[in-house]
């Protein structure tokens, strides 16, 4: 792979890491809006039988409109889900290839990257060279043995995406607040994992 391809891949990686939390937040917003539209539509079902302030025709019209709104959100969610999945795959593939330590990082490659990325790449390289699991991370993994297993790769990738999201929101990693928030988001998305955790 030539230097230009390395630079392009690294730029894409940095860009995806930056915007992935925004996309996940947007997806959660779409989900909430879709559920809200469905809930409101359900509220209009049979409403004309309990009040004379709205006709059966008007109830049917509003239900139809709300279902169309829900369908639009569902369509957007499908496309966004695919985008998030693609972005996560790029991020994890890049980090797997480089072992997130970049032991073989070419210094010449680092020096040829555009100025706007020089500081980010330098900081990233230094941090990755020093990456070691903390005692907090090890303790969390013992309680969540599903993490990293092939059977739970989708859940693992989602947890990793939540990590970026939480850190980008200004919460320091490896703090009680961080793990509380990480657990809250993971178990809200995958309640079945909480059962696995309790069985350990």
Looking at per-residue pLDDT, the higher value among 106 and 62 belongs to: 62
Give the residue-averaged pLDDT of 68-83: 89
Which residue shows structure tokens 């069985």?
199
Looking at per-residue pLDDT, the higher value among 199 and 194 belongs to: 194
pLDDT for 35 beyond 60: yes
By the 8 A CB rule, do 187 and 193 touch? Answer: yes
pLDDT of residue 189: 85
Cα–Cα separations (whole angstroms), residue 114 to 11, 19, 84, 121, 186 = 10, 20, 26, 10, 36
Interatomic CA distance for residues 194 and 186, integer angstroms: 9
Q: How sure is the predictor about 98, in pLDDT bands with cuts at 50, 70 and 90?
A: low
As a whole number, the mean pLDDT across the chain is 76
pLDDT of residue 179: 92
Looking at per-residue pLDDT, the higher value among 174 and 67 belongs to: 67
Question: Token pair of 165, please?
Answer: 């999201």
pLDDT-wise least confident of 41-45, 77-81, 99-103, 109-113: 109-113
Give the residue-averaged pLDDT of 155-173: 82
Looking at per-residue pLDDT, the higher value among 108 and 23 belongs to: 23
Give the residue-averaged pLDDT of 47-55: 82
Question: Token pair of 83, please?
Answer: 């985008």
């Amino acid at each position: 792979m030539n230097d230009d391809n390395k630079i392009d891949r690294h730029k894409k990686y940095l860009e995806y890491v930056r915007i992935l939390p925004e996309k996940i937040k947007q997806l959660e917003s779409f989900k909430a809006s879709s559920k809200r539209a469905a809930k409101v539509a359900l509220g209009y079902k049979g409403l004309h039988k309990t009040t004379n302030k709205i006709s059966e025709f008007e109830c049917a019209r509003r239900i139809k409109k709300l279902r169309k709104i829900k369908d639009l959100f569902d369509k957007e969610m499908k496309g966004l889900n695919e985008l998030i999945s693609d972005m996560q795959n790029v991020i994890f593939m890049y980090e797997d290839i480089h072992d997130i330590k970049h032991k073989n990082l070419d210094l010449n490659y680092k020096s040829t990257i555009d100025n706007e990325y020089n500081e980010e790449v330098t900081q990233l390289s230094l941090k990755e060279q020093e990456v070691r699991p903390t005692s907090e991370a090890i303790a969390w993994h013992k309680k969540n043995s599903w993490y990293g297993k092939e059977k739970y790769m989708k859940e693992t990738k989602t947890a990793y995406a939540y990590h970026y999201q939480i850190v980008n929101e200004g919460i320091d990693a490896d703090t009680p607040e961080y793990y509380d928030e990480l657990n809250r988001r993971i178990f809200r998305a995958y309640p079945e994992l909480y059962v696995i955790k309790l069985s350990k």
